[in-house]
Amino acid sequence: MFDRNIEKEFKKWKLSPIRKPLLVRGARQVGKTIAVRKFGMENFSEVIEINLEKKEQLAVFDKSINIEDFLKRISILFDRTAVEGNTLLFIDEIQESKNVLQLLRFFSEEKPRLHVIAAGSLLEAKIDKSWSIPVGRIDYYYIYPMTFFEYLGAMGRHSLIDSLKNINPGEQFDFRDLAGSLFKEYIITGGMPEVVNSYASTGNYDEVKTILNRLQAAYIDDIRKYSKSNSDNKYLEYIVEYGARAAGLLFNYENFGGSNYHSREMAQAIGTVEKVMLLKQITAISSTVLPLNPKFKRPKKMIWLDVGLVNFINDAYKDLITGNYKGRVLEQVVGQSLIACGTHKKTELYYWAKERTQGSAEVDFCIQHGTKLVGIEVKSANILKLRSLFSMAEADKNVIAVRVSWEELKFEKFEFAGKTYKLLSVPFYLIDRLTELVDWFIEIIG
């Protein structure tokens, strides 16, 4: 089992004096169960795992009337006792039981010293007015496909990770080619844990495609679990089957992906698939003033769950990631990396676009970092391709301008149209360190 970044957050949660039951949320197959099991095995004397997708366990625990009854049922079914301070109680696939989900809220009041983690997929798709997640009584963590640094760890490149974590801007890094080559591998395979595990073991890309095919089929099979009516199925199926073809691109709801479907049905279907975390819609902003004011009527940008799935659904393999598709897939991998930063809260990710009456400039991604707005362009070294970022920086002197490319980590000054612009240049293989490097850049430029 390889390390995941979320394990550090689990350890902080374990030691917190204000700890509450923890609900881990994420799409299917992103590694929720494995990460919790590993954390439990390494940090507790005992792990008691309940899987509510198993019909026999669901039948027992779904009937629990209170916490004491729930713990009694554990003792009878497993012949084990949950001991406060020593046991991790792990409730997997909690979305299968409305009753158990709502019982979570009482653990912090009645058994505050018992460590309880639950995990679930499809939660938001199942929730309606009569089924809500307990607010204020539980903590939430989010887990996504593996980041590049997590991928390197799975590949056994621990010394390289240490080096990458300690590169300072402007310093010579002798392993740029190696890091870049491995990042290109990551772009091809993606970060789904089963895929990464297979590729780390065999180096066989045909096996990667086999696993991606199985994962994609499983997501399509899940459609009935997303849907609240049979009439929705065709729209949901279309999004799950073909939505990744729009990864890294702007899209409209009307006739999405070349379909004949109308805006209303597509908006609802894409929203549902977003709730189960298979995709992220990136909304436009045209102002740089905080708080941000999203422009919901403008086209949105699509970021899919994982770049490996994007390649598979687009039938794009190693020798095909060139030309226009190359630009799209680089935006996808940067987008999913930014999203993966949101362990405690979903990352609010935008793109910047001038008002239509003012021109056509667009910046690929924007995030709010403290009191600053960070504009991020995924570009080559060609200065002309940075015009949109310069335009955004010109609109607001407080904007932090970042270029993500194959260039080395450095502070840059560009002269453009008679003005000087300061940029932070971050190589793709350091995207995991972006927010840390932005802090450095803010300090440097004052």
- Each residue's pLDDT tens digit, 232-247: 889 999 999 999 999 9
Residues with Cβ within 8 Å of residue 248, at least 6 apart in sequence: 301, 302, 303, 310, 327, 328, 329, 330, 331, 332, 335
262-312 residue pLDDT tens? 999 999 999 999 999 999 999 999 999 999 999 999 999 999 999 999 999
Q: Is 280 helix (H, G, I), strand (E, B) or coil?
A: strand
Q: Is 378 helix (H, G, I), strand (E, B) or coil?
A: strand
How far is residue 315's CA from residue 63's CA, in Å, rounded to a whole number?
A: 46
Q: What percent of the chain has pLDDT over 90?
A: 79
Domain ranges of the chain: 6-142, 149-445
Residue 4 DSSP symbol = -
Classify strands 350-353 and 22-25 as parallel, antiparallel or unpaired.
unpaired
84-101 residue pLDDT tens? 999 999 999 999 999 999
Q: Which CATH class is domain 6-142?
A: alpha beta
Q: How far from chain centre, in Å, is Cα 417?
A: 38
Check residue 320 and give its pLDDT.
56
Comparing 15-24, 129-138, 157-166, the range with the smallest average pLDDT is 129-138
Higher pLDDT, 444 or 383: 444
Q: Is 425 helix (H, G, I), strand (E, B) or coil?
A: strand
Q: Is the pLDDT of residue 224 over 80?
A: no
Q: Residues in the chain, how many?
A: 446
Check residue 130 and give its pLDDT.
61
Q: Is the pLDDT of residue 381 over 80?
A: no
| Sign of the CA dihedral running 67, 73, 76, 80 | negative
Q: How far from chain centre, in Å, is Cα 74?
A: 33
Find residue 120's DSSP bridge partners: 25
Return the residue matching tokens 């089992």: 1
97-155 residue pLDDT tens? 999 999 998 998 999 999 999 999 887 777 665 666 667 789 999 999 999 999 999 99
Q: Is the pLDDT of residue 31 over 70?
A: yes
Contact 375, 401 (CB under 8 A): yes
Two structure tokens written together for 314: 């687009």
44-98 residue pLDDT tens? 999 999 999 999 999 999 999 999 999 999 999 999 999 999 999 999 999 999 9
State the pTM of this model: 0.94
What's the chain's average pLDDT? 92
Helices (H), 340-433: 387-395
Q: Which residues of 5-40 are buried (b: 16+ CB within 10 A; e: fewer)?
A: bbeebbeebbeeeebbbbbbbbbbbbbbbebbbbbb
